[in-house]
Structure 1
Amino acid sequence: MDKVYSTAIIFLGSLLLGVAFNMFLLPHEILSGGITGIAMIFSLMLPVNAGIWLILLNIPVLVLGWMKLGKVFILNSIFSVAVTSISMLYIPVMKVTEDALLSSVFGGVLVGVGVGFIIRFYGSTGGFDVIGLLLTMKRDIPLGFLVFGLNSLVVFVSGFIFTWELAMYTMASIYITGLVVDRIHTRHIKLSLMVVTSKGDAVKKQLLEHLYRGITVTDGEGAYSGNKVKVLYSVISRYELAYVRPLIKEIDPNAFVSISETMEVMGNFRKDDNFKKVPGTSQMM
């Protein structure tokens, strides 16, 4: 059921992209970012639909993602690109409004919602999304901000090919898309997690197996009850919170859990960091 649900979300998000491109952005020659934007440029200059260009240009990027991000992710991405491309072939290119600014704003919002949910359910729209995700594995940077920087290259290209007024509309649309993506895809937002539990070993084992995070474990004592407890501290992403909550509740329904937003993290955090034991402590780093 989870697989069907995630596939349905990716399908709807990809369909939403087709609507945004053909009914808001393309009619005003407002581009999306990255490879999708390049496909739009080619479709406006040559008599070949943007959906065809989108498939052709994504092939080398998806091959790279297959090697670095895994088979499931790339299969979801291929499915997303296919749905978006097919929808762009059948959804008519028509103006919902004559106002180019309104189209850039609403088109940017729709693209951001579509991309955000596609990435949240372990897929991508190909292109710079894949490149951005590869870079966020190495650097703790908000994905929307990173993709916005990469996509800005398309703005300059469109400015030379078309007009700088349309380029500015494109920049506004891409910026709004980046903001919406970061609102939905919240992996970069860090949370401090503290768990006070009488089942410390079981909770620690499950957190390490599912999160692969460093955890500091200390001994504690209930001031009122006098019971001996374990206090576990770690830093997780907001994206991971969805399955940390039920995991802890299943092991120890009576555990005390405190969650607060963290401004900055220094040291090993990401899943690809090397974990090593800190001498004289219970912390894995």
Structure 2
Amino acid sequence: MGRVIRKGMIVTAGGLIQGLGMGLFLFPHNIPSGGAGGIAVLLNYFFYLDMGFALWAVNFSMLVLAIKYLGNRCTIWTMFAITVTSLSIYFCQKTIDIPFQNVWIDLITGSLFLGAGVGLLLRQGVSNGGVGVLALIISSMRGVLPGRPLFWINGFIFLLTASIIKWEIIVQALLSQWISTKIIDVVFKIRFYHGYPFAYRKK
């Protein structure tokens, strides 16, 4: 039970952190947070759907793949994670107003939050939803860090999004992905020792 509670707290933190990065810093500039984010931006552009709801719908639809390859337990945790993220995005956009916004400062800040949040989720074997499901499957099957496949899958969706909305998005989205995937791999590789802070090891 204690292990489940600990995992739940970490997954909740990961969902909240990545939702904060998207809702406050990336989505206000129409910068896709990833493949699912790119599709959510398009849904908002064409159908005026709320970004939090659009992201939740895209992610939820991808869970069919997660059930087949990742199992029921991972799928349930992923559903929980994407729900926390979507609620975080919704409440951030509805309740927090940033008076001064610069697209490049927000891009860097949002990408750092996004990478930290996704990294926490992937450390727990939980997908952040969307194409993160594919990245986690590839990571498990090929024994590679999840950041690289996530970057290439998202890149294709960014091209599609930029061709429809505006081409400047592709530069901003790819830069955001480069920053966030570097943070993902850093968080993914950090070693935590039970009972001791960070890298301290009892001798």
TM-score normalized by structure 1?
Answer: 0.62
- Aligned residues, how many? 192
2:144 maps to 141
Aligned counterparts, 1:89-100, within 5 A: 89-92=90-93, 94-95=97-98, 97-100=100-103
1:117 maps to 120
Partner Cα distance (1:31, 1:37) in 2:
5
Structure 1 segments unaligned to the other structure (5+ residues): 187-237, 244-285
1:131 CA displacement = 0.7
Deviation string for 1:121-141 (max 9, x for gaps)?
221211111111111222233
Partner Cα distance (2:56, 2:93) in 1:
19
Contact 2:23 2:92 in 1 (8 A): yes
Higher relative contact order, chain-length normalized (CA < 8 Å, sep 6+): 2
Is 1:28 equivalent to 2:29 in the alignment?
yes
Percent identity of equivalent pairs: 26
Partner Cα distance (1:96, 1:10) in 2:
30
Contact 2:59 2:129 in 1 (8 A): yes
1:96 CA displacement = 6.2
2:46 maps to 45
Contact 1:97 1:103 in 2 (8 A): no
Shift in CA distance, 181/97, structure 1 to aligned 2, threshold 3 Å: farther
Greater gyration radius: 1
Structure 2 segments unaligned to the other structure (5+ residues): 195-203
For the residue of structure 2 that corresponds to 1:127, the secondary structure is: coil
Superposition CA RMSD, Å: 2.2
1:242 CA displacement = 5.9
1:86 maps to 87
Letter in 2 for 1:51: G
Shift in CA distance, 104/77, structure 1 to aligned 2, threshold 3 Å: same
User: Relative to total residues, which structure has the larger strand share, 1 or 2?
Assistant: 1
Is 1:175 equivalent to 2:178 in the alignment?
yes
For the residue of structure 2 that corresponds to 1:151, the secondary structure is: helix
User: Relative to total residues, which structure has the larger helix share, 1 or 2?
Assistant: 2
Deviation string for 1:96-123 (max 9, x for gaps)?
6432111111111100000000111221
